[in-house]
Structure 1
Amino acid sequence: MQVYDILQQDPELWDLFTCAEEYEAAFRDGYDRFPHYMSNHREAFEPWVSQYLIEQGYHPEYPDSQPFAVCLTHDIDTIHKSAFFKGYDALRSLKAGDITKSLTNIWQLRSRKLPWFNFHEIMALEEKYDAQSSFYFLALAPGDQDYAYDIRSLEGELGMITDAGWEVGLHGGHRAYCDARALETEKQRLEAVLGRPVVGYRNHFLRFRVPETWEILSRAGFRYDTTFGYADCTGFRNGMCHPFKPYDLQTGREIDILEIPLTVMDCTLDGYMRLDAKKAWVVIRHLIDATERCHGVITVLWHNAYMEGERLKLYEKVLRYCREKGAWMTSGAEITRNVLKKE
């Protein structure tokens, strides 16, 4: 592969690209993740590997000669806000003097679905900016960790999403990243409801192991993954802002799956990095601009539960900014088709 040939000329960049430091990592966090704070790669905001590839003549292409791409994604961890949280929101709004919002929250107490049963609203917002996205759904069984909804109850919504041209992919459960049987079971469960093969994947809580997770995803028949990013820091985990086929240092061969690396996750910004909306936008804008310079792909994860208030405004700001730059904003499946058709 041409990318491998280019990068092997620079041992330091090759080690970064292949995540060599993660193979023998002595420490992983409570979710079995390799965190950014343990990495020797301290400049995760810069896509050094992709920048080098561009300097060496690597030239990705997008439909209609668009300058770069944005892979828009949503992890659907839950679709129901509990009565406790609805009541808490109503009380908080009332104490703040926001009568309108308080009445809205009280009305929502009557519905088990609002406000996170919001797939139509997300799609309408993206369509406003000529964008499409991927929705990754959990396909867990009662008793599984973080079981929150029955995927079988969403057959109509899944059909609506795919019929409109958006993508439905699998959001693997807590064990799927390292348990081939769990992964296969969840994939089959989602496909039975969807009525078509599932090609795209992201694991719950970004649980991931290099290179094992890529290997079991490949064997399960997925065409692409977009889990590969840090939970505790935004940026470019292996210096790449381009989709790539992973290389297994243990076997010395390419793994047959496309990785569309994750760049920005909503809860990383406020939960791990403790950024307010203003500072979060500074970070996101920098990552978008860096991706544009490399003609790359920036992957944005915005949970459906984050489509409220300032968080929703920030997501729309991302859409508006990328639209103004002429980016191709689309799903993981479309990014994959664009990359693989050139092979």
Structure 2
Amino acid sequence: MILIYTHKVTPRVRYIFKHIFTRILMIPVDFTSKVEEFVAHNGPKLTYTRTPLSNEFFVKSNDLLFEQGVNDMDIVIQKWDEVPCFFKTGPKSSIPYDIFAASFYLISRYEEYLPHVKDKHGRYTAEQSLAYKYKFLEKPVVDIWAFKLLEALKEKFPDYEYKNRSFNFISTIDIDNAFAYKHKSLVRSVGGFFKDLVNFRLINVWNRFAVTFNIKKDPFDTFGKILSIKKEKDIKTIFFFLIGDYTTFDTNVSASKTKYRLLIKEMVDYAKVGLHPSYFTLNNPELLKKEKIRLEHIINMPVQRSRQHFLRFRLPETYQHLIDLEVEEDYSMGYASNVGFRASTCTPFYFYDLDFEIQTPLKVFPFALMDTTLNDYMKLTPKQSLGRIRDLKNEVKAVNGTFITLFHNESLSDYDRWKGWKRLYDSMIKISMV
């Protein structure tokens, strides 16, 4: 155990020190603001305050962890060796930057509380983030800083027994459209048929006909393949099902369809299942509650995990709504337009609510990449995408973090805009298991 002395033990101090020491470095910590208690402690100890007490391990503190609320900040990015960092400390400090305040700024998503311009879907954009502007979006810098801190701690306390965490991989699958043609309403099926016909999409006309009359399998029905890969490679896999009512942005099969409900029930037998709240739940907590209850009735168990459709979430409101509904885990932390680490960490963390200045029970699982980001936004080929996936995975592996990917059942279909992408998922799994 490492004892931390600070002039004031605030909720922010407890929160970020526990994330860095306990979750990333596997080192238990305790806190004190009493000098005599700190001096009497015989084990490893660290002071986090404005001036050192004597010659102990000292990190000069930035004011951020002792403030409340959100203020506009002037942040200067510099380099710690080759790693971008900020909140410079000074010559007496054992490390050159206050990584605790910097990590809190990034993980709490402090910048998303500041005034910003939203995109057409009401989302905070990657381009406005510090990580994007200073080109460290594709690096889990919080974890990298933690490991650089660990090197300094080992020099100061060589006899302490340090533990190592292990690399973890989670494959998550969003079900925006369980089926391309099957089990849609008559109006949607007929409308789709004529739309394809008018636009001379004759291949789609044939596929629609063949699937409807059971001549061919529905192209989006890739669940068997995903489950067989999960079983063969022993991968933790989570399916997020969209079960909202039909809208322009929510075009899945109706949750009232028996076949769709049976599919969800079947997935529960083989993998974890979560809610994919529909597009308009962003501004409608009652709709979110309705959809959660709907999924619970299908799977006959409480819904514990969630990921917002279109990655539409707003801090802190969306997370407050999930907490009110007793959802325990959220997987929305990432950008639609860019791969990388939105919260600059590849370690799951508890959401810190800056409105109430408390650590909440909602655990956030940040993902590193999404298939539609690679294909639709970045316009990469499957081969180019695999290279980016490998780079991101290597970044996570270097700090023994949790590598989380987001794919859709559609992207394994080899159909329409996903032509040639079928093998990418399999290839990604192989490199993620090495």
Q: TM-score range by the shorter chain?
A: 0.7 to 0.9
1:91 and 2:203 are equivalent in the alignment? yes
1:5 and 2:117 are equivalent in the alignment? no
> 1:249 & 1:15 partners in 2: Cα distance?
11
| Shift of residue 117, structure 1, vs aligned partner | 2.6
> 2:274 & 2:114 partners in 1: Cα distance?
31
Q: Which residue of 1 aligns with 2:179?
A: 80
| Shift of residue 317, structure 1, vs aligned partner | 0.5
Q: Which residue of 2 aligns with 1:321?
A: 431
Alignment match of 2:337 (pick from 232, 243, 248):
232
Spell out, residue by residue over 1:187-230, the C-alpha distance to the aligned partner (whole angstroms, 9 max, x if none): 00111111111111001000011222111111111110001101
TM-score by length of 2: 0.65
> 1:172 & 1:263 partners in 2: Cα distance?
20
Q: Which residue of 1 aligns with 2:388?
A: 283
Query: In 2 relative to 1, CA 313–25 (structure 1 residues): closer, same or farther, beyond 3 Å?
Result: farther
Alignment match of 2:245 (pick from 138, 141, 144):
141
Alignment match of 2:313 (pick from 198, 208, 230):
208
Q: Which one is further off, 299-308 or 124-133? A: 124-133
Q: Which one is further off, 202-211 or 14-23? A: 14-23
Give, as a single letter, the amino acid of the residue that structure 2 aligns with 1:129: K
Quick check: 1:50–1:241 contact (8 Å CA) kept in 2?
Answer: yes
| Shift of residue 297, structure 1, vs aligned partner | 0.8
Secondary structure of residue in 1 paired with 2:243: coil
Query: In 2 relative to 1, CA 60–197 (structure 1 residues): closer, same or farther, beyond 3 Å?
Result: farther
For structure 1, the 5+ residue unaligned runs are 62-66, 93-101, 326-343
1:37 and 2:127 are equivalent in the alignment? yes
Q: Which residue of 2 aligns with 1:48?
A: 141
| Shift of residue 5, structure 1, vs aligned partner | 2.2
> 1:232 & 1:259 partners in 2: Cα distance?
20
Query: In 2 relative to 1, CA 168–89 (structure 1 residues): closer, same or farther, beyond 3 Å?
Result: farther
Aligned sequence identity (%): 26
> Quick one: higher RCO (CA 8 Å, sep 6+), 1 or 2?
1
Q: Which one is further off, 235-244 or 104-113? A: 104-113
| Shift of residue 145, structure 1, vs aligned partner | 4.9
Query: In 2 relative to 1, CA 45–2 (structure 1 residues): closer, same or farther, beyond 3 Å?
Result: same
**Residue-pair matches, total:** 309
TM-score by length of 1: 0.82
Query: In 2 relative to 1, CA 5–176 (structure 1 residues): closer, same or farther, beyond 3 Å?
Result: same
| Shift of residue 59, structure 1, vs aligned partner | 6.1
Quick check: 2:170–2:235 contact (8 Å CA) kept in 1?
Answer: no
> 1:176 & 1:144 partners in 2: Cα distance?
14
Spell out, residue by residue over 1:86-113, the C-alpha distance to the aligned partner (whole angstroms, 9 max, x if none): 9877739xxxxxxxxx998874353497
Quick check: 1:90–1:106 contact (8 Å CA) kept in 2?
Answer: no
Q: Which of structures 1 and 2 has the bigger CA Rg?
A: 2
Secondary structure of residue in 1 paired with 2:403: strand
Secondary structure of residue in 2 paired with 1:275: coil
> 2:224 & 2:361 partners in 1: Cα distance?
34
For structure 2, the 5+ residue unaligned runs are 1-12, 21-64, 66-97, 151-161, 182-191, 415-419
Q: Which residue of 2 aligns with 1:150?
A: 254
Spell out, residue by residue over 1:124-173, the C-alpha distance to the aligned partner (whole angstroms, 9 max, x if none): 12222222411111121356852421224223222221122x01110001
Query: In 2 relative to 1, CA 206–283 (structure 1 residues): closer, same or farther, beyond 3 Å?
Result: same
| Shift of residue 21, structure 1, vs aligned partner | 1.2
Secondary structure of residue in 2 paired with 1:209: coil
Q: What does 1:103-122 align with in structure 2 at a 5 Å threshold?
A: 107-108=210-211, 110-111=213-214, 114-122=218-226
Give, as a single letter, the amino acid of the residue that structure 2 aligns with 1:16: L
| Shift of residue 75, structure 1, vs aligned partner | 0.8
